[in-house]
Homo-oligomer: A and B are copies of this chain.
Amino acid sequence: MKLLIDTLGADKGYEVIVKGTLNNMLKNEIEVVFIGEEEKIKKIVENTQVDKNRIGYINTSEYIENTEEPTLAIRRKKEASIPLGLRNLNEDEFDGFLSCGSTGALLAGATLITKRLPNISRAALTVVIPTLKGASVLLDGGANMDCPPDMLRQFALMGSAYAKGVLEKNNPKVALLNVGTEEGKGDALRKETFKLLKECPINFVGNMEARDLLYGEQDVIVADGFSGNVALKATEGAAMVILNSLKDGILSSLKSKIGGLLIKDSLKNLKNTFDYKEYGAAPLLGVKKPVFKAHGSSDERAIEAGINKMVKFIDNDVISDIKKYFEEEN
């Protein structure tokens, strides 16, 4: 297995990406080609135990910024790490591509360069949600704004295949994000989608409310990109504000500082439970080859975990599973 790893455009710089990848290589028998500033990367690689024959380079210092218009940037900046990586991914020798760079550019690139699977209307951004019961995935996480019901049906099928292949759920529970749990709830899009999902060859468990996201009872949560993104950001924001306010409160007096020390382990456990870094990265589903997006602020551990997910995705050939769902449709 040979993977392309984009070392550019990440919040914490190329070092954590290279180190996280090397840590992974100590455990997984993969080959890697780093995309980025070769000389700099080599200085880190020098000190590793990993066999240098398993490591290659594609030298570039150009990358696409988060602020750039994605499609335009993909077309114009041919030597930027994302289009360069994706063009290489089209070659048979490569099995997957991982990037911490611009989500929009990765999505536009995956659509324009990697291209979609037959009968799939749009690539979906899968987002992993750390929950009380492990990982759930939500899709679409914000890539596709105006989704018709059939697109949500496609997300459901692709998400189910992903949960089966990578999250190791036997019969993944697929739920539709809605404002209530009863059938018939929601807007026109949800009502129509509900009907379609009932007919799908997946374990559709019905509607779920956004307040239940962190309980993790469902494995795959289906949403249009707008409300999916709203649900994810509201969850993230609330968790952040609560934890920061608690921290400020603890630091406000000597008594509570001592208390804070005594509950340190509990706080740490809590942080670990909801730490997305444990889950590393998630794929853009619906394209012809594995394209993974890791969080912009990923650390070494997140990169190592993200590559694990990609390896599992490739080993279990999730893309073939997705293809099967759609090949009879025309």
Contacts and interface: CB of A to CB of B under 8 A. Distances in A.
A67 to B, nearest CB: 9
A276 interface: no
Interface of A: 132, 142, 145-146, 177, 179, 186-188, 190, 209-215, 224-227, 229-243, 245-246, 249-250, 252-253, 255-256, 258-267, 269-270, 273-274
B256 A263 contact: yes
A104 to B, nearest CB: 10
A261 B258 CA distance: 10
Contacts of A229: 179, 210
B231 A188 contact: no
Q: Which 3 pairs between the two chains have the least Cβ-Cβ distance? A: A259-B262, A249-B266, A211-B237
Given A235-B235, A249-B269, A256-B265, 18 more contacts: A145-B179, A177-B230, A179-B229, A179-B233, A210-B231, A210-B233, A210-B237, A213-B238, A214-B238, A214-B241, A232-B234, A242-B270, A249-B266, A256-B263, A259-B259, A259-B260, A259-B263, A259-B264
A263 to B, nearest CB: 4
Contacts of A239: 238-239, 242
Chain A interface main SS type: helix
Q: How many identical subunits does the complex contain?
A: 2
A44 B320 CA distance: 69
A280 to B, nearest CB: 21
A212 B267 CA distance: 23
Contacts of A225: 179, 187
Contact of A212 (B145, B188, B237): B237
B266 A252 contact: yes
Contact of A234 (B210, B255, B259): B210
B246 A266 contact: yes
Contacts of A211: 233-234, 236-237, 240
Contact of A230 (B132, B210, B243, B260): B210
A202 to B, nearest CB: 22
Contacts of A266: 246, 249-250, 252, 256, 259
A234 B238 contact: yes
15 contacts: A146-B187, A179-B229, A187-B224, A213-B237, A215-B237, A230-B234, A236-B238, A246-B246, A246-B266, A249-B269, A252-B266, A256-B265, A256-B266, A259-B260, A259-B264
